[in-house]
Every structure is written in structure tokens, then in C-alpha cells.
Structure 1
Amino acid sequence: MITTPESGEQRTPAHARVVRDIIFSAPAGFRPLTLDLHLPEAGRPPVIVFVHGGGWFRGSRRVFCPGRTEAETFGRLTRAGWAVASVDYRLSGEARFPAQLADVEAAIGWVLDEGAAMFGLDATRVALWGESAGGHLAALAAAVPGTPVRAVVDWYGPSDLAAIPKPVGAPGASVQPSREELLIGGPLAEHRELTEAASPVRAVHAGVPPFLLAHGTDDSMVPSEQSLLLRDALHSVGAHVELQLVAGADHMWRGLDDLETVVAPALRFLALHAGPPESAR
């Protein structure tokens, strides 16, 4: 069942048509999960399911990439002919993994069913795009056997949780759980099975859709080696993968003057592997 806000459709500063606060899932015992649907002018558009970042413990579906405008993110994608379903998921303070993966799967299911029926979305051309923690969840969702997803864009997402260095606190300070430990529900060494299940390098297989990985070489939060590990894992199973390393860029593309450096290749990749939008044919 779909619920829309009383205000209905809105127009963003990027002049896109947006339907906000659509309930796509209501997990028992948790808050309803919602998405914002950004729609292009052309009918029956292909769909990008976008998964936000924030270390799994914060973040917002309203933000595509922190510090970047809506016009150069959501608006850029709708101008290229894509619908974008930007989705919520349960944060690590609400539920531990794999709840987050289940929520992304539920969002994909909504696109295939209610979204296609009520908004005319093309359920045969669905892609995933995630940023940071969202890239991690997008990669895992794409590795679910039988996924309808046709292509994945993973921006600087963690891929092997056990290989991410834990931040070192100040001398004498109490040791705080890492983002990864909050997601898993405790020290990774004590939850090895769950840590492996939450690591895309362990989940990929020959049947995964094509991947585009993009990562800044100076990423101070998720080392670029994480994308190298996922690239190698995808290569090892014979999957199609492309890697864009952006020299000097930090997390969230800080230090990158023009976001088109990473957006344009991603859109070309999606057009090739998920089918070009009708407007681009």
C-alpha cells in the first residue's frame, strides 16, 4: 500500500516533479519507511533506486551527496531521463544488519509493483546507486540471487568490513564502537559470520549485474582500497566491473570541483547496462 503526503507532488529548486514521503515498507515494530520519487518529464522512465550514506547510523534520503546541490544530483539524473526513488532504511541505532539490506530489497520490490503500476515506472530497467554506506547496501542488494537490478553504481562504499581500520581515540579516552560495529551489533571479531555476510566481497557471485565503482584516492573515511578489494572480488567471479579512481578526492567527493567528473561516467554506464532512457534513444 502506498501513502503520499497531503501536499502531494512538489516542484524542487531543480524544477523536477517529486512525490515525497511515500511509504514503501512497514516493518513490524519499527517506523514506516518512506521514499521520495523524483520523476522526469518523459513517461515510463527507467528507475534508479538511490541509497543514502551516513555510516549506517545517520543520513537522509533527501541528500544525494553532502555539500552538493539538488540540481547537480537528483535533478541531473531526472534531466537525463531517469526516475529516482531515494529510499529510507533502518539505521544502526534502530536495528542491526541485515535489517538494512531487507529494507533496500523492499524498496526495489515497491518499484517493481506499486511504483510501476501507479507512476508508470519501467520495472524492466532498474538500477541501484549508493553513496558510502548506501553504496555498501547497494552492492549487497545487487548480490541477492535473482535480483531484477540491471546495473549498480557504488560510490566509495565499504566492501570488506573486517579490513576497515578502526578509528583510534585519544589516549585515555573510552573506546567507542566503530560504525561497522554499530551495524553488526558488537565487535567484528566476535561476530565473524555476520561480518562476512555484511561484506560485499563475500557476497558477489557470477550472476551479479555490472558494477561501476568510483572512489577518491584520498578518502579519509573509507579507504580507496575497499573499492579495489571489491573490484578484485568481482573479477574473480567473472562479473563485469569498472573502477574510477579520482586522484586527490576525499570522502563525499570533497576536493572535487566538478561533480560531473563522476556523475557523467555513471550515467553513461547506466545507459549502457540498464538500457538508455527513451528520451536518449
Structure 2
Amino acid sequence: MSVRNLCIAVAAASAVLFGAAGAALAQSAPIEAYAALPAIDGVSVSPDGSALAYIRRSPDGDTVVAQARTGEALVTIDVSDRAARFVFWASPDHVVISSTINDKLPYTTSPGLYEQLDIVNVRTRRVARALGSADKAILTASFGPATVGTYRGRPVMYLRTYTVENNAYTYDVYRVDLDDGRGRLHQTGAEDTSSYVIRPDGEVLARTTYDGETGAWRLLARRGGNWNELLSRRSLLDRPAILGFGRSDETVLLSEDREDGPVLVEISLADGSEVAQHDNAGADNIVRDGAGHMVGISRQGLTQSYSLFDPAHQANWDRLVQGLAGRQLFLTDTDDDLSVMVFRAEGAGEPGSTYLFDAERQSVNLIGREYPGLTAADVAEVSAVRYKAADGMDLIGYLTKPTGREARNLPLIVLPHGGPAARDKAGFDWWSQALASRGYAVFQPQFRGSEGFGQTLLEAGYGEWGRKMQSDLADGVKYLADAGMVDASRVCIVGASYGGYAALAGMTLDDGVYRCAVSVAGISDLPEFLAVERREGGRSRFNEGLRYWQRFMGVTSDVDPSLAERSPARLISRIEGPVLLIHGRDDTVVPFEQSRIMDRAMRAAGKDVELVSLAGEDHYMSFPATRRQMLTETIKFLEEHNPPR
């Protein structure tokens, strides 16, 4: 995600976004250095700006560290027994650790990944489980966003979750004590309540409702003790979303798809009128102050940018960008008034470092480096490549070129992203960088159906699963081969999740393009996948997940005959090269059975296949050992079947 040079004039359709600072590699860094989870992750600054908290990973285990900015250690918590995802401050004295657990919990029908929140008092060093007890029966693993604040002068956290009574569910707000974790019912919702907007003092100013059967969505505001409807919509997919407060607590921020495209507008809580509309182009996050007010927008185009409303804040950010020229900066956290900012930097051969900016001192200090096992020379050059699909649609891809090798007749790995409504970003990507370090060019196409490049590209993917979403990848290969950058006879495809499906489809639907494939947690049998989603996700008229998959597959039933025509496991006779299947045993997104189906079908047909199961791994490559195993097996397979030299 880093950028070495944002303003390079480029020939043809390729723009260099960042590159290695060194010359040709004398020796590649070990696989472990790329596969490692970041050594320092999720740095958060306390509301008053005086302390930091972060996840620290090492061979000895993972810990959450809280420390004063002066360097004094406040507390260290061992989190090696869980998948710690991020940390945040709930008060100047309390850090919350968000982790995921893979389990089947009460009131649920099947195992899944669930959030667990542990609250650490950095003064007393006591740890409490959020909602470990409550005055109602609750679904403790289905938290909505947390609002940190106070209640009668005491620091608390307001959590959204489901109350379960008499086999009925209501989506409610619980007030959580930060020292003992106990939850007390703060606001009762209804079965169709879907979100809340809460002030830090606990006043609930707005809520939304949604009926999954009819698609009816409503925004309601509380005035004088009554709930008044401000807006209503009807949408079975792409329902509107309230993203918290606008620039004050008199407005809320509405994100909505309209006929002329997506909008981001502030809605008055007094009468539902539109107070202001913000540029939604490339918007990917909202910057907020300690009161929850919107103070800026981050946008991701080819690179990341920030628009901060306060001129002083914007001037500070601009100075950081200028002072670290050639790097891509990501604002990750701030204190309550944005006088202290935590940001990440990537670029100029740097895979990622976290810094702290102090506005009063106008100082920048390094907090830590994410990949200490990698040097500047271990980060290969990344370029943005523009090309056209066969039907003329303009597309973009990111090309990572191996350091020290001319971009001529290179062996190529196509690495499509998951989602499919997701995207890659320019910068350090551990997977593509690891493959490039072994001598491969790596191409990450932003095929139709990808998000972040405009609504037109996203919607062009609807119904194109296994069709034009797939041919967009092969069209990128053709462009690179015609330009002489890659050798068309030495191309393999690798991907995870939807990208894993695309890898298998590359061997069955794209004749002669790929000589081998690696599918990580990929879907192989579309009818079976949809049947499981229907069975475990609930009735289809309420099942938004099922509607999402059907939209991209272009079907309304899991017995649609076109699904079999696009299912790699049912097209085994077309496979000419070897296939490696890798899948986490505890995957709750794409069942492990999807890889077993492909493995059995290929073996029955006498095809070259290997299945590697990752014990204890989920869908997200969350654990260092299995992440390293996946990368090691992938590179071993590629070097055997598509040698880099």
C-alpha cells in the first residue's frame, strides 16, 4: 500500500507506484519473513493522547501492550490463545481487545467466527470480559459497533447486541461497566431494529429498522420521547446505511445507492432533510473526533488520500505527506481532538512502519516496524496497469515485478482478489511480494465486480461470475504478453476465496491460459455452495448472504443449470495441468468440503491434484504457522510446475 513515486510520467498504460530501493537481490528473504503477521499491529492512541496500545507479535507469542508515550509500560497481556484483531481505548484507563473465536455458541445453529471483547484496566491490570454477565439473556457474540463514553460521570461502553427471550430476538443497547464487564440494558429495540446512533453520554438519538423479507428500511429519530420516522426506503440488497453522526449530533450520515450513483449525505435529525452532500468518489472511511462527529473522509483510488475539514488538521496532514514524500500514508487513529495522530507509512522499499505525530510539538516519532525481517531491497516494484477487456471495458491491475529483472518475458502469477466485491490496493501485499521475491511477475487484476473503482465497474460484475469476471483475468494476461512483459507459456493462477474459485475456473473455463493453479479456500461447486448457504443462512427471503451470491452468479435458484456449467468440480475433464488445493479446517465462510469435492473429483478422473488442509485455520489466514504453511506449499508447487527461471 505504499508509494515510492506518485508523479512518475509513464509510457503506455503503466504507472509505477512504488519500488524497491536496492539493486538486484543477491538472496531473497526467507518465506517466513513475508508470511509473518505484522510484528506491531493496530496501534491505538488514548483519548487524551497520553498513551498507546497495540498488538505485538513475536516467535514467543502475541501480546497486547499498553504504554505511556514516555515509554513507561502500563500493562502487557498475553493473547497467544486467541486471534487478536485490534485494540481500542474505551477511556484513558481502559483498553479493549477485540478477538475472534471459532465456536458454536448458544442460540446459534452452526459454528462461526465470533467477536470477543476483553477490557483491560491499565492501572489495576484487571481484565474483564465485556458482557460476561448481563441482566438479560443475550447473544454475546453478535456485537454491533461500540460507542465509548460515560454514564452519570463514569466511563462506560455502549454495545449493540441481541437480547434473547422466549425464542424471540430484539436488537438492543447494553451499557457495559469497564471494570467488571457487566452489561445493563440501556435501550430496548425491536426484532427489526438494525442499528443505533448514540451520543457518548448514552443518549440514543436515532435508530434504523429493516425487514429482511420485504426490504423495507426506515430511519427514526427520537424527539420528546417519541420515535419519528424521517426516511423510508425499500431494498432487498444495497440497503441504505447510517454511518454515525454527521459533523454534529444534529445530523446523521447516510450512505445510499441512488439511480445516479452512490451518495454520502448528512440528514437532519429534526426533519429528515438533506443538510449537506459530500463527495463520495472513492470514499472508504470516515474520520471522527472523540465526540463521534465526522471531521474528514479518507478515499482510496489508485492511492490513499484524506480530506480533513479543519484547515489546521489538513495542513498537518499535508506536511506529513510532504515530509514523507514517496510513501503512502494511512491515518489509523487519533486522540479526541486530532492533536495526536497515529499513521502507517509504506513505500520506498519499506513494507510498513507506524508513526506518531504530535501537532503541538510538530514532531514525528517511529513507533515500530511491521516486518522487521524484510529490508528495503525485499520490496519489489509495483505498477498500475491499464488495459481493456475483450468487450472494450477499461480495467486496471497491479503488477509486481521481481527486483533486478527486466520486465521482458517474465513468468507470471495471476493473483485475483476475493470478495468478489473487494479490491486490491497499491502497495505492500505480503502474498504478491513473496511470489515476486522468487522471480515471478505477479498480476492482481481489478476485474468487473471489484469495488472501489466506481459503481459502473462493480455493477458490471452482476451475473458475470465465471463469465466476464473470469475472462477479465485472461484479458489481462493477453495484454501483458502482447506487451512482451510476460511469457504467455509460463502463467499460473493463484487465489483465495473467490480468487480460489477463479483459480479453479482458470483451469476449467479458460482453455490454454494457465499451466497450473493454486486454490486457497476456493469454491468448486456452486450449487452445493448455495445449498449450504440456504440451509445455514436461513430462509431465502430473509437471507441477504444468499441474495449477494445469487446477484453475482446471475441466478435465483441453486438448481439453475448454468451453475453446473461454471462449477470447476463438474468440469474436471477440461483440466490439463496440476492443481494445488489449500483450505483451513475451521473455515466458516467457504466450507472445507468445497476443496474436498474438487479433490475427490480430480482423483477419480486421474488428474494431478494435491489437497493441503490447514489445522485450526479459519478463512482469513489468521495464524502464523498455517499462513507460513500455505505460502511455503504454494511456492514449492509453483517452482515445480512453473519454474521462475
Whether contact under 8 Å (1:72, 1:259) holds in the other structure is no
Of Structure 1 and Structure 2, which has the larger fraction of its residues in strand? Answer: 2
CA distance 1:158–1:169, shift in 2 (3 Å): closer
The residue correspondences of 1:128-139 to structure 2 (distance < 5 A) are: 128-139=493-504
Residue equivalent to 2:374:
none
Q: Distance in 2 between matches of 1:174 and 1:3?
A: 48
Q: Distance in 2 between matches of 1:90 and 1:120?
A: 23
Identical-residue share of aligned pairs (%): 25
| Aligned pair partner of 1:59 in 392, 403, 422 | 422
Mapped pair 1:17 → 2:375? no
Of Structure 1 and Structure 2, which has the larger fraction of its residues in helix? Answer: 1
**SS at structure 1 position matched to 2:387:** strand
TM-score by length of 2: 0.38
| Aligned pair partner of 1:253 in 601, 615, 621 | 621
Displacement after TM superposition at 1:100 (Å):
4.8
Cα RMSD, aligned residues only: 2.7
Q: Distance in 1 between matches of 2:394 and 2:572?
A: 30
Mapped pair 1:111 → 2:477? yes
Displacement after TM superposition at 1:254 (Å):
2.3
Residue equivalent to 1:76:
434
Residue equivalent to 2:487:
122
CA distance 1:107–1:163, shift in 2 (3 Å): closer
| Aligned pair partner of 1:263 in 631, 634, 637 | 631
Residue-by-residue CA offset, 1:11-39 (whole Å, 9 max, x unaligned)? 254431111142242645xx522111110
Whether contact under 8 Å (1:133, 1:158) holds in the other structure is yes
Whether contact under 8 Å (2:461, 2:469) holds in the other structure is no
Residue equivalent to 1:66:
none
TM superposition outliers: structure 1 runs of 4+ over 6 Å: none
Residue equivalent to 2:444:
86
Displacement after TM superposition at 1:78 (Å):
0.6
Whether contact under 8 Å (1:26, 1:33) holds in the other structure is no
Residue-by-residue CA offset, 1:165-218 (whole Å, 9 max, x unaligned)? 1165589x93325143222233324x5211112211112215431100000000
Residue equivalent to 2:516:
151
Q: Distance in 1 between matches of 2:592 and 2:533?
A: 15
Q: Distance in 1 between matches of 2:636 and 2:467?
A: 27
Whether contact under 8 Å (1:87, 1:107) holds in the other structure is yes
Higher relative contact order (CA 8 A, sep 6+): 1
Mapped pair 1:187 → 2:556? yes
| Aligned pair partner of 2:533 in 166, 177, 184 | 166
Could you list the runs of 5+ residues in structure 2 that have no partner in the other structure?
1-10, 20-346, 352-378, 450-457
Q: Distance in 2 between matches of 1:258 and 1:136?
A: 20
Residue equivalent to 1:210:
578
Whether contact under 8 Å (2:464, 2:554) holds in the other structure is no
Mapped pair 1:38 → 2:400? yes
Residue equivalent to 2:49:
none
CA distance 1:145–1:74, shift in 2 (3 Å): closer
Whether contact under 8 Å (1:140, 1:203) holds in the other structure is no
* Residue identity opposite 2:586 in structure 1: D
Whether contact under 8 Å (1:46, 1:125) holds in the other structure is yes
Larger Rg: 2
Could you list the runs of 5+ residues in structure 1 that have no partner in the other structure?
64-68
Displacement after TM superposition at 1:143 (Å):
0.9
Residue-by-residue CA offset, 1:102-161 (whole Å, 9 max, x unaligned)? 34334334424x313435312221000111011112211211363231110001111112
**SS at structure 2 position matched to 1:242:** strand
Mapped pair 1:4 → 2:7? no
CA distance 1:233–1:159, shift in 2 (3 Å): same
CA distance 1:246–1:258, shift in 2 (3 Å): closer
* Residue identity opposite 1:232 in structure 2: R
CA distance 1:162–1:100, shift in 2 (3 Å): closer
TM-score by length of 1: 0.82
